[in-house]
Structure 1
Amino acid sequence: MVKRTRFDDADCPVARSVDAIGDWWSLLIVRDAFDGSRRFNEFQRSLGVAKNILAARLRDLVANEILETTPISEGSPYQEYTLTEKGRALFPVIVALRQWGEAFSFADSEPHSELLDRRDGQPLAPLEVHAHDGRLLTSDDVAVAKLS
């Protein structure tokens, strides 16, 4: 098996984030956790991933403090997985990936799921990046500053 490259010492926040999240299975697990999945069998049924891969990804997400485990009931050997504060902070990332996929991964007539505001049932507005003064920013408006 090929050993995965680690980025936990990289000076790039994107590289460290990718290192913490892991891979596509991990992002899909986080997505399912936002959608209400809590138990191993719920994740397995939704994703169709092999049990050993799912177990490894869940273990890594717990180790990276993105998910935490709690007993299903007192005295039960079974546990459920819930998002931590660090995991819940991935919500804008999941929304951004979802909105990008809606815009670029489906034909116009192809059905897909969408996120709706629970209060009014309306689709979410597109995510935007704003400057400290409220201006809308694009990639042309930002620069990376290396800190020493």
Structure 2
Amino acid sequence: MWSYEKRLQYPVNIKEPNAKIAQVIMSQYGGPDGELGASMRYISQRYSMPYSEVAAILTDIGTEELAHLEMVSTIVHQLTKNLSMEEIEKSGFANYYVDHTIGIWPMAAGGIPFNSCEFQSKGDAITDLFEDMAADGAIL
């Protein structure tokens, strides 16, 4: 278990709603390179790491990715709260709004919902670490 401080490390205070920006940022929540996949990637891979130090690092990284998920969802929520129906229709946010209103739901900017195929956990330390570096954009 983790100790959880019930506050964002970097407070989010968006004043004006903007559905178009929210749709793009939502991809960082549940898109193919989003925080949900990143957190699941590291936390899932930690169990098959042969070295406890590496498993601990993966746990730390996965936990940090969950914190990113919280920040991104806060941004999306603030960008979509208090939208008028005119803004929803004009921005192209209507399809999302029909199913989720202003709820935060993991999907890519193109409307594709998150699924567990977005990350890999093979059980081989080298394969998994290469997956992690590729997902984070590290030069291999």
TM-score (norm 2): 0.27
- Structure with larger Rg: 1
Q: Which has the higher strand share?
A: 1
Larger RCO of the pair (alpha carbons < 8 Å, separation 6+): 2
TM-score (norm 1): 0.26
